[in-house]
């Protein structure tokens, strides 16, 4: 039982990071109908900048700020400089541009920083706290949960309570009608990319200390898992990203704990296959579309 | 009387096939002009060109004397032009209140926006009762009211309406037409109303422009147009 509690706790921590990363995919999908296959590579660029700033200043917190800012700037450049030119008539053109971007970014990172895994220390201890003799979350896991849930909540407030959020939603749902109402849809798309890329970079920064370390491919598996989360939750559903993230996080953690790490990807793949067979639009897609 | 909207020699095509062939007419300030004609006459294409969604290959659109050739869709809205698109264009994932707010956000004046919302809820009373309902929960008539109210929240000087009566009960159509006429008389709003419901449109319009296969076939006072039997039978179907 103690083991199950521990695995559920770490699963929730991992799940919130996945949810944050998946939300970045959902934001871009809703705004542009493009699955951003470059999200992982873009996020790692932000993390490299953050780690460099941490190294230069000695402050992990300045590194966090730099990661978010660098991620947002890269999102701006990528949307304005590359993906804006993807043809709306051909869904493949956006996918191909994004994959090309992955190759370019990972090659550049490899040239500048090398391919070695660089360990990244968390700002808090990653040793689990004991409560009544039962190992629970580590202080770092708790920090990750608080930051990820805080950001997800902040993004929800932005979308539901602010004029900018209303314009972002309108531009995503009905771009032509929104233009006729004076909404600058192209600008809203850029804002969406900036928000999404910042969120993905932050998620990658939070995830890296629990992975093998930082290298140009450090967010590849995070992207694959987050893509699964987005499909499970519904690519159109921000709420689904959170619930899907928690589901995939807990499944991964429990399967890893009881059956071994090698079976975890198989379990996630099984979950993905089941959702695609039974509810291809995602577990939470319809409810969210009605509520948004 | 000055022209709120002046179209001169508009030529517009879809994928190489011309739809409008040198369309010219004017809409006087504060008047209602009915743009009528059968399916494929080019009414929707014309309105989409005026709002900037389509680019003409020749000809000009002037709004209160200003050439709109280099003015984008969003800036035409800021210049005082609003369009209610065919199919109503309500954003069904948003609530009535959010749809209405969206119409006036670009003005950047919260107090003015609140006042405009209150005016619209007074004018279209059913909307006030269902402020938090989502667009997809509304009837066809309510959606049409919402689309018009949302366009009016922007306080436009010229309103383009594309088939507002489509699929609506006659009583609802009559109510919407009455509200529009009252608004024009009270506020000086200019309306270009594209309609297949010719009798309904001409009943509230000052003038009627008949489009046939992308050309202006007639441009006369609405009452005279309604009584022209030859034109009615040839182009208007009643």
Q: Is the pLDDT of residue B135 over 70?
A: yes
A291 vs A264: which has the higher pLDDT:
A264
Q: Is the pLDDT of residue A289 over 60?
A: no
Show the tokens assigned to A48: 């490299």
Query: Which residues on chain A are in Cβ contact (under 8 Å) with B150?
Result: 181
Which residues is B27 bridged to in the sheet? B5
Distance from CA of A60 to the nearest CA of B (A): 39
Q: Across chain A, what does the average pLDDT equal?
A: 88
Is this complex scored with an ipTM above 0.85? yes
Condensed to tens digits (0 to 9), the pLDDT of residues A217-241 reads 999 988 988 998 998 888 888 888 8
Q: To probe the interface with B, which of A171, A174, A181, A288 has the most B CB atoms within 10 Å?
A: A181
* pLDDT (0 to 100) of residue A288: 45
Q: Do B134 and A166 touch (CB under 8 A)?
A: no
In sequence order, what DSSP letters do the residues of chain A get, joined into one string? -HHHHHHHHHHHHHHHHHHHHHHHHHHHHHHHS---TTHHHHHHHHHHHHHHHHHHHS-HHHHHHHHHHHHHHHHHHHHHHTGGGS-SS-HHHHHHHHHHHHHHHHHHHHHHH-SSPBP---SS--SPPEETTEE---HHHHHHHHHHHHHHHHHHHHHHHSHHHHHHHHHHH-HHHHHHTT--HHHHHHHHHHHHHHHHHHHHHHHGGGSS-B-TTTTHHHHHHHHHHHHHH-TT-HHHHHHHHHHHHHHHHHHHHHH-GGGHHHHHHHHHHHHHHH-TT-TTHHHHHHH-
Condensed to tens digits (0 to 9), the pLDDT of residues A28-75 reads 888 887 889 999 999 999 999 999 999 999 999 999 999 999 999 999
Q: How many residues does chain A have?
A: 292
**Share above pLDDT 90 across residues of chain B, in percent, rounded to a whole number:** 49
- Using the Cβ of B112 and the Cβ atoms of chain A, whether some distance falls under 8 Å is answered with no
Q: How far apart are the C-alpha atoms of B125 and B130, rounded to whole Å?
A: 9
Query: Which residues on chain A are in Cβ contact (under 8 Å) with B136?
Result: 290
Distance from CA of B213 to the nearest CA of A (A): 26
* pLDDT (0 to 100) of residue B235: 63
* pLDDT (0 to 100) of residue A200: 94
- Average the pLDDT over each of A178-182, B36-40, B65-69 and give the range with the smallest value: B36-40
Q: Is the pLDDT of residue B229 over 80?
A: no
A31 vs A96: which has the higher pLDDT:
A96
Distance from CA of A289 to the nearest CA of B (A): 7
Q: Which residues of A touch B (CB under 8 A)?
A: 163, 166-167, 169-170, 173-174, 176-185, 289-290, 292
* pLDDT (0 to 100) of residue B107: 84
Q: What is the CATH classification number for the domain harbouring B35?
A: 3.40.50.300
CB-based contact B165:B87 (threshold 8 Å):
no
Q: Do A167 and B105 touch (CB under 8 A)?
A: yes
**Share above pLDDT 70 across residues of chain A, in percent, rounded to a whole number:** 97
* pLDDT (0 to 100) of residue B1: 60
Q: pLDDT band for position A129 (50/70/90)?
A: confident
Q: pLDDT band for position A170 (50/70/90)?
A: very high
Mean pLDDT of B173-192: 87
Q: pLDDT band for position A195 (50/70/90)?
A: very high
Q: Is the pLDDT of residue A210 over 80?
A: no
Q: Across chain B, what does the average pLDDT equal?
A: 88
Interface of B with A in 170-229 (CB under 8 A): none
B235 vs B33: which has the higher pLDDT:
B33
* pLDDT (0 to 100) of residue A286: 56
**Strand ranges across the sheet with B3-14:** B17-28, B3-14, B58-63, B66-67
Domain count, chain B: 1
Mean pLDDT of B157-176: 86
Positive or negative: CA dihedral A6, A11, A17, A19: negative
Distance from CA of B81 to the nearest CA of A (A): 9
* pLDDT (0 to 100) of residue B125: 83
Buried b (16+ CB within 10 A) or exposed e, A47-77: bbbbbebbeeeeebeebbebbbbbbbbbbbe
Q: How far apart are the C-alpha atoms of B105 and B111, rounded to whole Å?
A: 11
Q: Is the pLDDT of residue A148 over 50?
A: yes
Mean pLDDT of A264-284: 86
Q: How far apart are the C-alpha atoms of A71 and A114, rounded to whole Å?
A: 20
Q: Is the pLDDT of residue A290 over 60?
A: no
What is the domain range of residue B11? 3-236
Q: Do B93 and A289 touch (CB under 8 A)?
A: yes
Provide the 10 A C-beta neighbour count for residue B92.
17
* pLDDT (0 to 100) of residue B236: 65
Write out the H or E segment, with its range, that includes residue B125. helix B125-129
In this structure, what is the dihedral angle of CA atoms A15, A19, A21, A22, given to the nearest 10 degrees? Answer: 120
CATH number of the domain located at residue range(s) A2-113+138-291 in this protein: 1.10.3470
* pLDDT (0 to 100) of residue B41: 87
* pLDDT (0 to 100) of residue A184: 95
Which residues is A130 bridged to in the sheet? A135
Mean pLDDT of B41-51: 93
> Among all residues of chain B, which has the CA nearest to that of A160?
B98
Q: How far apart are the C-alpha atoms of A114 and A140, rounded to whole Å?
A: 28
- Closest partner residue to A170 (CB to CB) among B73, B77, B94 is B94
């Amino acid at each position: 039982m103690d083991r199950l509690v521990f695995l559920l706790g770490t699963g929730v921590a991992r799940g919130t990071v996945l949810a944050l990363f998946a939300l970045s995919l959902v934001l871009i999908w809703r705004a542009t109908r493009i699955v951003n296959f470059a999200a992982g590579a873009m996020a790692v660029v932000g993390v490299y900048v953050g780690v460099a700033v941490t190294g230069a200043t000695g402050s992990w917190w300045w590194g966090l700020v730099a990661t978010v800012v660098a991620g947002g700037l890269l999102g701006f450049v990528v949307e304005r400089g590359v993906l804006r030119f993807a043809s709306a008539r051909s869904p493949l053109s956006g996918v191909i541009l994004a994959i090309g971007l992955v190759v370019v970014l990972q090659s550049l990172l490899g040239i500048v920083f090398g391919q070695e895994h660089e360990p990244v220390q968390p700002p808090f201890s990653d040793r689990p706290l004991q409560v009544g003799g039962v190992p629970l979350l580590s202080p770092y896991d708790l920090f990750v949960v608080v930051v990820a849930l805080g950001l997800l909540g902040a993004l929800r407030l932005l979308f539901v309570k602010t004029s900018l959020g209303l314009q972002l939603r309108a531009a995503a749902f009905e771009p032509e009608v929104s233009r006729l109402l004076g909404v600058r849809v192209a600008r809203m798309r850029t804002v969406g990319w900036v928000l999404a890329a910042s969120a993905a970079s932050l998620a990658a920064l939070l995830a890296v200390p629990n992975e093998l370390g930082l290298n140009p491919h450090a967010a590849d598996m995070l992207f694959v898992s987050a893509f699964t989360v987005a499909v499970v939750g519904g690519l159109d559903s921000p709420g689904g990203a959170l619930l899907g993230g928690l589901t995939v996080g807990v499944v991964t953690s429990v399967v890893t704990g009881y059956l071994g790490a090698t079976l975890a990807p198989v379990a996630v793949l099984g979950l993905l296959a089941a959702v695609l067979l039974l509810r291809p639009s995602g577990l939470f897609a319809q409810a969210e579309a009605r509520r948004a | 009387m000055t022209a709120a909207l002046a179209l001169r020699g508009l030529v517009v095509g879809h994928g190489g096939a011309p739809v409008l062939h040198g369309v010219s007419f004017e809409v006087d300030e504060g008047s209602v002009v009915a743009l009528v004609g059968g399916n494929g006459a080019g009414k929707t294409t014309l309105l989409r060109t005026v709002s900037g969604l389509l680019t003409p290959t020749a000809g000009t659109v002037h709004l209160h004397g200003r050439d709109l050739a280099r003015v984008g869709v969003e800036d035409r809205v800021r210049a005082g032009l609003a369009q209610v698109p065919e199919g109503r264009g309500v954003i069904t994932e948003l609530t009535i209140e959010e749809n209405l707010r969206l119409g006036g956000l670009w003005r950047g004046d919260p107090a003015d926006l609140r006042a405009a919302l209150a005016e619209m809820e007074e004018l279209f009373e059913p909307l006030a009762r269902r402020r938090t309902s989502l667009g997809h929960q509304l009837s066809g008539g309510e959606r049409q009211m919402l689309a018009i109210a949302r366009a009016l929240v922007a306080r436009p000087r010229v309103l383009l309406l594309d088939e507002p009566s489509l699929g609506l009960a006659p009583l609802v159509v009559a109510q919407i037409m009455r509200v529009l006429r009252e608004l024009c008389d009270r506020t000086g709003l200019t309306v270009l109303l594209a309609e297949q419901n010719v009798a309904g449109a001409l009943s509230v319009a000052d003038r009627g422009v008949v489009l046939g296969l992308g050309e202006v076939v007639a441009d006369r006072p609405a009452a005279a147009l309604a009584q022209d039997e030859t034109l009615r039978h040839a182009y208007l179907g009643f």
